[in-house]
Chains A and B, each alone.
Chain A
């Protein structure tokens, strides 16, 4: 790598020649404040927060986009720089709804932090009118309040990065607002509900639709039996809300917290993930052996499913008909479990905790109601669960480690890796290999489909057949593969697509990691590692070895892919326009 020498605040550093001033400074341990900057997603130099002084330059320059050159002298802390930062913040505050005490993002708002860091004392120095027509609460999964928007465009870039681009900057000057074309509401455009805009937002302008009160009300209703399930990726991130390092697996404390919150049963979506593998592997084998539509594409990720319905309705036959693990778990809670326990399913309130905002959309889909009732009644994000834990004043970090409840709390290592890109593929291959050869295979680590790369391809020999697979995470990457399939240029047999880059661990419902932290930490990889470590340590690592799942098939569903299994665990899709 070519290096150049620059001086930052009088100290000399060797830095890569292609670095920006911001990258060089952060590597050297000197922070420069930013707002619109979001590594790999938004680097547009728009907010003017990162202005620094460069010797010889006519004016201050934006460090996030300004390249270094040999001999450059940078000052990140001069009076001129300090004054510029303060002025930028004061101007942002002039059009900002300053309701920090009651704001969802209080405590992890990047604007709030900078105001504190820079010692802004007079928040109303330039106070003026607030923009009008500012909220969008049309969807069942997210809310926008532009009175808290600082027009950094990180959400716009995140949406573009997902190949969706339904939001952008409209109008001009003081009237500029982030919204949809022709001022449509988000629910009326082809938004896929992924929530990547929310986790990109530095302030409280975007948040999920909060359903926590409905859950609390259900728990407090003596007539209701409230059963919760948690997705694999939640345990890899929930701890961040309580100050634990990124990548800490808090499965035990989470189970303990859920019990103390008053849930009657604490189940694991991993059980449904194992179920998904049984059904999906069976469906895949059936398609291969009977000339069904190939490649078969996974259907666990509701953001991806919605994307397919909007943008690739011609490929809906390629989608597996399997419900997602969330809805398989929900469906079995209200059918098999209710029957077994003699519970009236209409008394059950089925709650899920998901790393995802699209799950709030998924539970309202048609054909997701095996017992004639919604498979899942309320879906919370990881962040909402953290809120409930805080509201109940549980000291999360001091809770004991507990286990999920028996029955649908039992799962395998194959299920826990569902939370990372490549995990579903690997889990399916583990089972397909055993089923097709008729004997347990020793090699179960499918390294080629692991890792945070956007597109991964591999060919595996399964029972004498070459199975060509592809794994994509993030819809831009998915789009590349889908274009190939649409053009008939792809000869894959099986494709895994996850809506969010890196898979569910990086979902739109996960704890929000600041832009600065994201500059240093590969959040996707750190959270995924927690799941792969858990998989490695588990006694059972193949879905078909799950003893409770076997029992469920024996006493209730019959064979995987049976008529009953289809009624309860499979679903249908609709063509949506865009």
Chain B
């Protein structure tokens, strides 16, 4: 699947900007600096928006396209922000045959976002993940550290309500 790019506005704090400056300064001039820079930038910001990638490209003196190419190649890099609550719906084989796609549909409908997106208020982000090793509970989803199993689409509303302040 093509990586989704967030169109939510980018928020930067002076602390975050300072940390990224440090990361770039530490990697400058090194061979193969793009990967570790992206890795640490994602730790700082939670994702890798245009503004962050531009800063890395300028700072390391590599073309932006190269940075972007790397960030879209590796699956651990995300171009969309994580919400305060992060939902993962398992689409592994066992969950899938037990109807995980319908659970996912329901969440998308309810939140108005697709996988790899974040709601505008920053409350929820959603991802469709591979097997998380809880096949006995299929279909399964997690919200932050909480695991919910043996789901039917009707369960979704109640679960989400718990996380809505």
Contact = CB atoms under 8 A, between A and B. Distances in A.
Interface of A: 133, 160, 165-172, 175, 180-183, 189
21 contacts: A160-B63, A165-B66, A166-B63, A168-B63, A168-B65, A168-B66, A170-B72, A171-B72, A171-B73, A172-B74, A172-B75, A175-B1, A181-B50, A181-B53, A181-B64, A181-B65, A181-B67, A182-B5, A182-B53, A182-B68, A183-B5
A171 B65 contact: no
B3 interface: yes
B64 to A, nearest CB: 4
B68 A168 contact: yes
Contacts of B69: 168-170, 181
B133 to A, nearest CB: 24
Nearest to B75: A172
B72 A165 contact: no
A165 B75 CA distance: 23
Interface of B: 1-3, 5, 50, 53, 63-69, 72-75
A171 B2 contact: yes
A479 to B, nearest CB: 12
B66 A170 contact: no
Nearest to A133: B2
Shortest 4 CB-CB contacts between residues of A and residues of B: A165-B63, A181-B68, A168-B65, A181-B64
A168 B68 CA distance: 9
Contacts of A168: 63, 65-66, 68-69
Contacts of A172: 72-75
B116 to A, nearest CB: 13
A489 B76 CA distance: 44
A165 B5 contact: no
Given A165-B65, A181-B65, 5 more contacts: A168-B69, A170-B72, A171-B3, A181-B53, A181-B67
A5 B69 CA distance: 42
A172 B72 CA distance: 7
Contacts of B66: 165, 168
A168 B75 CA distance: 18
A172 B1 CA distance: 8
A167 B50 CA distance: 16
Contacts of B73: 169, 171-172
Nearest to A182: B50
A160 B62 CA distance: 11
A183 B71 CA distance: 13
B65 A180 contact: yes
A486 to B, nearest CB: 14
Contacts of B74: 172
Contacts of B1: 175
Contacts of B63: 160, 165-166, 168, 181
B54 to A, nearest CB: 9
A181 B74 CA distance: 15
A130 to B, nearest CB: 14
A314 to B, nearest CB: 16
For A133, A172, A189, the residue with the greatest tally of chain B CB atoms inside 10 Å of its CB is: A172
Nearest to B1: A175
B114 to A, nearest CB: 15
A160 to B, nearest CB: 8
A171 B1 CA distance: 8
B49 to A, nearest CB: 9
Given A171-B3, A181-B53, A166 B65 contact: yes
B103 to A, nearest CB: 25
B128 to A, nearest CB: 15
Contacts of B68: 168, 170, 181-182
A316 to B, nearest CB: 21
Contacts of B3: 171
Nearest to A179: B65
Nearest to A170: B72
Contacts of A182: 5, 50, 53, 68
Contacts of B50: 181-182
Nearest to B57: A181
B2 A175 contact: yes
B2 to A, nearest CB: 5
B55 to A, nearest CB: 13
A172 B77 CA distance: 12
A169 B65 CA distance: 8
A182 B63 CA distance: 12
Contacts of A165: 63, 65-66
A167 B68 CA distance: 10
A183 B53 CA distance: 13
